[in-house]
Structure 1
Amino acid sequence: MSAETPVCQLLSRQDADYRGWWWVAPPRDAWLEAGEGVAVSADFAVRAAWRARGRPACSPFAEALPETPAGAVLFWPKSHALGEWWLLWLCATLPAGTPLQLVGENQGGIKRVLKVLAALGLGCRKLDSARRCTLFATRLAPVDLPPEAAWTVFEADPGGGRLTLASHPGVFGHNKLDDGTRLLLETLPEALPAGEGAMRGNAGDVLDLGCGDGILAAWLARRGHAVTAVDVSAFAVEATRRTLAVNGLAGEALESDVYSALGGRRFSAIVSNPPFHQERAIDYGPAARLIAEAPEHLERGGQLILVANAFLPYAERLESAFGGFEILADDRRFRVYRAVKKRG
């Protein structure tokens, strides 16, 4: 089977035996998923794809990791700080001397790896380059900086009281309050009155879909709503759990590829600032599924409230899924949409 992505095309031409290796933060690629080794990924959808093929995959937050590998390949992510976290995690998790290869696209910053490795006291050599990608090799060694050092907290006041937010590289809104989320939070008090769900005693009252650092989940929980928060990223789910905990708030946070982990659960409201990027490419897939499948996960009269960049083509999708919608706010950069389930 031929490799599909440039980084995997580069790897596929290596004279290397990757049996028993870990593929760390891998992209979706049929060559990888049909090959050897174990996927270690914070992306729930990637792990599900591997498992669907009968291949082993785990999260870096798993209580029990697979057996120590013969080596590891780290796919350098778009977020340089996230790549550094993966390096620290590998150094803390695997034995000293474990072979490590690092691969990435040149325009994605892979060549900066040389400085990162040097700062950690790790040697490095270039193995190959092609398809505008580069492959480096090193060996792991103990470093003084623990992976936990990548976690930060910051304060935000979105209205209704200051919140402390846990943040991790690669999580949306890292160390700042996104302007679209701010507009959504300014709109929600009127659209979603405080405590409405909590007074009904509905444990799954409001769903925060694509929870990121947990600001929406925490804001909703503080206003008396019973909150379930989901995200495809294990980093986001962990950030949301930490955000709820540090603010003394209750809520459930789950890894989920859109609605995949929720079964037939229904909610009185779904709120979201959905993603539309996958690395550097625009990808409407998750947002399209969020809208199309929302009626199946709403009670009758339940509402979907989402914020999106004004240029994104969500109006037709909302019309198709709900038969109508309204715009609650529009500051020319972002729009807040609401659609209500009228039947079923």
Structure 2
Amino acid sequence: MSAQTPVCQLLERQETDYRHWWWVGPPQDGWLEGTQGTAISADVALLIYWAARGLSARSPFDEPLSAGAPAGAVLFWPKSHALGEWWLLWLCATLPPGTPLQLVGENQGGIKRVLKVLAALGLGCRKRDSARRCALYASQTARVGLDPDAVWTRFEAGGLQLASHPGVFGHGKFDDGTRLLLAQLPEILFGDIGASRRQGALQALDMGCGDGIIAAWLARRGAMVTAVDVSVFAVEAARRTLAGNGLEGDVVASDVYSALAGRRFDAIISNPPFHQQRDIDYGPAARLIGEAPEHLQSGGQLVMVANAFLPYPALLERAFGGFEILADDRRFRVYRAVKD
């Protein structure tokens, strides 16, 4: 299959034999699947997709491969510059020194910045090719004396200590949409309105948990919490956040509800993403809303926050037959829909 994305079209025309290389942070592209390489990704959806086709795929938090080092690695430079730096540190810490390393990305995505990053790490670099508004650089791994774990940070928000990683939504800050959402939850979930709909502890699902602030906020108030995210960076961050605050919860890597078959909750709380790199992608949020009734108890509720311009009212109407707006500050809206 011919490459479909600009970055893969640039790679396709190289003379390099990419068999048994690592594809690090790759896009979804059929050409990659035919190269006999291994996908290294924090995106659970991509890992599931590759595994379902019998292809080699792993997360950066998996145990090291027993089969030994790859022939080389291609790092697809991400939108987040800090995340790209983390991937570089991880590759240098994981692979033997001298392993061939290529870095590819779109000019608009900041690929040219890798020159300064590589220089700061003492890694040599040369430009191999450019086309389709993309560039490809060549280097090799080396011991750089910096631990990838050093990028983990902690910060305070809402009375909680949060763990944060460059690959997590809202890295290092308290998102305004989440702030607005949390302000609505005491009465809806723990006041007369919420308590009258259930018996016992609230069974809550934090969908798209990010750094775990919603899960930790719920757990601190006695809820039995399950936190889910498609990013393994977010899953690790949420686990660290819960542990750092002395709280308990089940944290699951899942492509929306894929790992939650048969499970039902009193409440699903979410600040869902709508970007995939620089592109708008409503797919995950549409699944979140459309499949929510299947994962709610009778009388259970979906409470979510979203940018005011996003077209979620029609999705909520279709899935639940109605909804209400709990808050609207012109930037964000908090929606609530209840399962009959």
**Among candidates 184, 187, 202, match of residue 190 of structure 1:** 187
Aligned position for 1:113:
114
Q: In structure 2, what residue type is equivalent to 1:41?
A: S
In 2, Cα distance between equivalents of 1:42 and 1:171: 10
Q: Per-residue deviation at 1:63?
A: 2.3
Distance 1:148 1:198, change over 3 A: farther
Q: 2:198 touches 2:266 (CA, 8 Å); kept in 1?
A: no
Q: Which moved more, 1:179-188 or 1:192-201?
A: 192-201
Q: 1:207 aligns with which of 205, 208, 223?
A: 205
Shift in Å, 1:199: 6.4
CA distance in 2, matches of 1:73, 1:108: 16
Deviation at 1:120, TM superposition (A): 0.3
**Alignment: residue pair count:** 336
Tell me the percent identity: 74
**Is the Cα contact below 8 Å between 1:34 and 1:53 reproduced in 2?**
no
Mapped partners of 1:6, 1:288: distance in 2: 27
Q: Residues 317-340 of structure 1, C-alpha deviation per residue, up to 9 Å, x if partnerless?
A: 000000000111111111100000
Kept after mapping to 2: 8 A contact 1:198/1:225 = no
* Separation in 1, partners of 2:206, 2:291: 15
1:129-163 CA distance string (max 9 Å, x none) = 00000000001000111000110000112xxxx10
* Higher mean displacement: 48-57 or 99-108: 48-57
Map of 1:51-66 to 2, 5 A cutoff? 51-65=51-65
Which stretch shows the higher mean deviation, 64-73 or 266-275? 64-73
Q: Distance in 2 between matches of 1:292 and 1:4?
A: 29
For residue 2 of structure 1, what is the aligned residue in structure 2?
Answer: 2
Residue 304 of structure 1 aligns with which residue?
302
Gap regions ≥5 residues in structure 1: none
How big is the alpha-carbon RMSD for the aligned residues of Structure 1 and Structure 2? 1.4
1:35 Cα deviation from its structure 2 partner: 2.4
Q: How far apart, in 2, do the equivalents of 1:312 and 1:107 lie?
A: 25
Q: SS state of the match for residue 299, structure 1?
A: strand
Q: Tell me by how many angstroms 1:173 deviates.
A: 1.2
Residue 91 of structure 2 aligns to a residue in which SS? helix
2:339 matched to which residue of 1? 341
In 1, the alpha carbon distance for the partners of 2:170 and 2:140 equals 33
Distance 1:199 1:58 in 2: 41
Query: CA 1:201 to 1:332, structure 2 compared with 1: closer, same or farther past 3 Å?
Result: closer
Partner of 1:128: helix, strand, or coil?
A: strand
Q: Do structure 1's residue 163 and structure 2's residue 160 form an aligned pair? A: yes
Correspondence for 1:176: 173
Please state if 1:147 is matched with 2:148.
yes
1:24 is matched with which residue? 24
Secondary structure (helix, strand or coil) at the match of 1:192 reads helix
User: Aligned AA for 2:131?
Assistant: A
Cross-structure match for 1:325: 323
Native 8 Å contact 1:221 1:250 kept in 2 = yes
Q: Which runs of 5+ in 2 are unaligned?
A: none
Shift in alpha-carbon separation, 1:301–1:199, aligned structure 2, 3 A: closer
CA distance in 1, matches of 2:269, 2:325: 14
User: Helix, strand or coil: the match of 1:184?
Assistant: helix
Q: Distance in 2 between matches of 1:129 and 1:220?
A: 49
Aligned residue number for residue 130 of structure 1: 131
Shift of 1:170: 2.3
CA distance in 1, matches of 2:21, 2:147: 23
Could you say what secondary structure the match of 1:200 adopts?
A: coil
Given that 1:308 and 1:335 are in contact with CA atoms closer than 8 Å, whether structure 2 keeps it comes out as yes
Tell me, yes or no, if the aligned pair for 2:39 and 2:58 is still in contact at 8 Å.
Answer: yes
Rounded Cα–Cα distance in structure 2 between residues aligned with 1:87 and 1:198:
48
* 8 Å Cα contact 1:25/1:40 also seen in 2: yes
Superposed displacement of residue 201, structure 1: 5.1
Q: Displaced runs of 4+ in structure 1, greater than 3 A?
A: 194-199
Query: Whole-Å Cα distance in 2 between the matches of residues 10 and 52 of structure 1?
Result: 27
Alpha-carbon distance in structure 1 between the residues aligned to 2:38 and 2:198: 43
TM-score (norm 1): 0.95
Distance 1:15 1:198 in 2: 63
> Per-residue CA shift, 1:190-213, capped at 9, x if unaligned?
1110795996257xx100000000
Residue number in structure 2 paired with 1:221: 219
Instruction: State the match for 1:286 in structure 2.
Output: 284
Cα separation, partners in 2 of 1:341 and 1:199, compared to 1, 3 Å: closer
Mapped partners of 1:258, 1:33: distance in 2: 23
Tell me the TM-score normalised to structure 2 length. 0.97
| Aligned twin of 1:80 | 81
The CA distance in 1 between the partners of 2:199 and 2:314, in whole Å, is 34
Note the C-alpha offset of 1:36: 1.6
**Distance (whole Å) between structure 2 residues aligned to residue 201 and residue 325 of structure 1:** 24
Alpha-carbon distance change, 11 to 329 in structure 1, aligned in 2, over 3 angstroms:
same
CA contact (8 A) 1:84 1:116 kept: yes
